[in-house]
Amino acid sequence: MPEIAEVARVTHFLREYLVDKKIAKVLAPDDANVFGKVGTSGPAFAKALTGKTVEDVGRQGKYFWLLLDSPPHAVMHLGMTGWVQIRGVQTGYTRYLEKTAKADKAQWPPKYWKFQLETDGDPRVEVAFTDARRFGRIRLVDCPGKDIRKHTPLAENGPDPVADKDVFTEDFLRRKMRSRHVPIKALLLDQATISGIGNWVGDEIMYQAKLHPEQYCDDFDDADISTLFKAIQYVCDTAVDKLGDSEQFPAHWLFNHRWGKGKKDSATTLPNGEKITFITVGGRTSCVVPSVQKKKGQTTVDDEGEEEEESTPAENGTESRFFESKSAAKREAGEAKSAGRPSKKSRTKQSTAVKEEEKEAKPIPSETKKSRKGKKEEKPTEPSAELGRRRSTRLSRTAT
């Protein structure tokens, strides 16, 4: 999913090519998901943008918008696979280009487009919003441009760690962490708390801070919170500054090694030999380097036997031990409840033996009327005399 860096890349190109341009033409076939789920339609979107001039392009976390010379304004979210294409311009970042077929690069309009727009003047600019899986969202927000962040959906989202440095401070982070009791990575992924941090950015932050993603957010000391805040700033600033182009990311980043889960011959260690594992935190797969990211406080699992657990992850390497601890707790409760009783296996063997004894002790039941009725006396079948005569007649004819 595109995160803070990828959205910064999109806004960079839109700002460069659309600001102060008048939109001459818009095509937007209706889509019940992309437009409909946020209260608008393709035709309504096209009508609202046609003839308008783009005054600015803004972003907050995973959202970005076109600020027009009059409302309503277009607010967009890329979802899982959304992207913005500009004809003749390579807007895609490295990983996006790796997933895009070469044949698609020259195609216009691009495959899976949801709207296209053209500007007037020379040079003419053509822009398309694409989304293969249709989790992206395009809406219209009817308000003065300066108030756009006071309206849905932006008002419900937390501060952007890059764009809102006056709001996102160390004290802000501390207050949010102390007021919740969830794994720290789940807190970072909560867009209502902080905008823009997604799965890979969250993993990178935790790795750079040398903190474990399963540790509860209200169980970090001030020193760890300060370290985490600096890691958030460092990772987000760097990723946005490089416009999400992974080829320009620092060589020591976990990002460069975290994409091999489930792939054949993929690396399971960092270049220095430290092991990479995958667990589930907050419903998302998380990449962790256990030798670097030590648990320092209360986590979603019992820390007893921590050293052994760190070196021996779950069998499939993906599930969080949080779920294992729940199962263990249920087992312990069951053992306490059934103290003094034989085990389930032994009870099963005993009950089977009792059933066999009862079966042997029971007298053989006498024949019932139904069983007697079902049995018919078998009578020997005799060859039909008619058949015998017919056969002899045929034989006699043949002899003649």
Active site residues: 2-3, 62
Please say whether the beta carbons of 149 and 60 come within 8 A: yes
Three-class SS state of 19: coil
Closest CA to 129 of 95, 180, 90, 78: 78
- 182-198: b or e for each residue (b if 16 or more CB lie within 10 Å)? bbbbbbbbbbebbbbbb
Tokens representing residue 158 in the block: 């937390």
272's CB contacts (< 8 A; 6+ apart) are none
For the packed helices 222-241 and 4-18, what is the interaxial angle rounded to 10 degrees? Answer: 40
Taking CA 316 as the corner, what is the angle to CA 310 and CA 317, rounded to the nearest 5 degrees?
A: 40
Q: Tokens 């691009």 appear where?
A: 110
Instruction: Tell me the chain's radius of gyration from C-alpha atoms.
Output: 35
The Cα 63–Cα 8 span in angstroms is 10
Three-class SS state of 173: helix
For 124, other C-beta atoms within 10 Å of its C-beta total 12
Tell whether the torsion through CA atoms of 321, 322, 328 and 330 is positive or negative: negative
- 44-76: b or e for each residue (b if 16 or more CB lie within 10 Å)? ebbebbeebebebbbbbbbbbbbbbeebbbbbb
Tokens representing residue 37 in the block: 């789920």
The Cα 183–Cα 297 span in angstroms is 11
For 253, other C-beta atoms within 10 Å of its C-beta total 18
